[in-house]
Structure 1
Amino acid sequence: MDDVSTAAEGQRRRTRDRRGRGMRGPGVLPERPGTPALRTARQRFDQLVLDVVAPLDERWQRHLGLVEYAVEDTPMLPDDWGDETVPLSSLVRGKGTGPTRLVVFRRPIEHRATTHDELRAMVHLVVVEQLAELLDLTPGDIDERYAD
């Protein structure tokens, strides 16, 4: 009896490695070979900012002029900043032929948002407020959804 049970165990296919962890490697294969299957948090945030900025920039392009949009991880704060809140964005007006630069800071915004919808709403809020300041209008004039 013991000989039969050990022979059956020896023929059984092993689906796990010797430490019992199972198969290693990616759980998802990429659609195109050579590209990562899953995007990083930074890439997802960049895409979110683009999705928010595109319709606003298209609508206000005539009034805005040349605006450069950027995403940075964190703002560079001076040593004497103190206990003030960390900025969520920065607006640097262009000089001469230089473009105006609107920078959205990823980490402070992600830190304040708990869900993806909240993150999207916060990015929208920040971009609308900065465009309103740039155009010297109220945020409600820039986007009627601002009050929501």
Structure 2
Amino acid sequence: MDAAARRRRRDRHGRGLRGPLSPPGLPLTRSRAQVFDEMVLDAVEHLERRWEDQLRGLEVAVEDVPPTDAPPQSPDPVPLGRAFPSTGALAARIVVYRRPLETRALDRRDLADLVQDVVTEQVAELLGLSPEAVDPGYGLAGED
């Protein structure tokens, strides 16, 4: 084996190639976007346990930022999420905006609570109910 082939397989100390610190799939290798997507899915699953029939066919999407031409649905100038009722062949849809939520959260647990509240608010809007009726724990996650 020549020196060039040996260098490609081993580092300068002869200990082997440097590789990832953890195998793919472990929490260390998940991006912030992947973690956020999982939080949204957990929030939807939490509500589906109670509202399975009403949420059948609901589409949920995550976008990084809201579009600039989106009309504000709340007094907050930057929307955290939007609900689109079903129209014709299009199913009802919820869009959650990742970056505005991440900037408001203090830590990962606070972000998960915010995501749960935003998803609850959007489902409540689609169902024509108050958020408290959709999820009795709405707004209480940060209180101890």
Letter aligned with residue 69 of structure 2: P
Partner residue, 2:54: 63
Task: Report the CA distance between 1:70 and its aligned residue.
Answer: 0.7
TM-score by length of 2: 0.74
Deviations 1:49-106 (A, max 9, x none): 111111202321212342101111111112998xx62110011111123201100001
- Percent of aligned positions that are identical: 40
Cα RMSD after superposing both structures: 2.9
- Cα gap change, 1:126 to 1:24, in 2 (>3 Å): same
Q: Tell whether 2:71 aligns with 1:77.
A: no
Q: Does 1:119 align with 2:111?
A: yes
Distance of aligned partners of 1:77 and 1:60 in 2 relative to their CA distance in 1, 3 Å threshold: same
Moved more, 57-66 or 116-125: 57-66
Displacement, 1:117? 1.0
> How does 1:26-45 map onto structure 2 within 5 Å?
26-30=20-24, 38-45=29-36
- Residue 10 of structure 1: aligned partner: none
Asked if the contact 2:40/2:115 (under 8 Å) is kept, the reply is: yes
Amino acid at match of 1:89: G
TM normalised by structure 1 equals 0.72
User: In structure 1, what is the equivalent of residue 42 of structure 2?
Assistant: 51
Larger radius of gyration: 1
- Unaligned segments of structure 1, at least 5 residues: 1-15
The aligned length equals: 124
Give the stretch that moved more between structures: 93-102 or 117-126: 93-102
Change in Cα spacing, 1:77 to 1:58, as seen in structure 2 (3 Å) is same
AA partner of residue 23 (structure 2): L
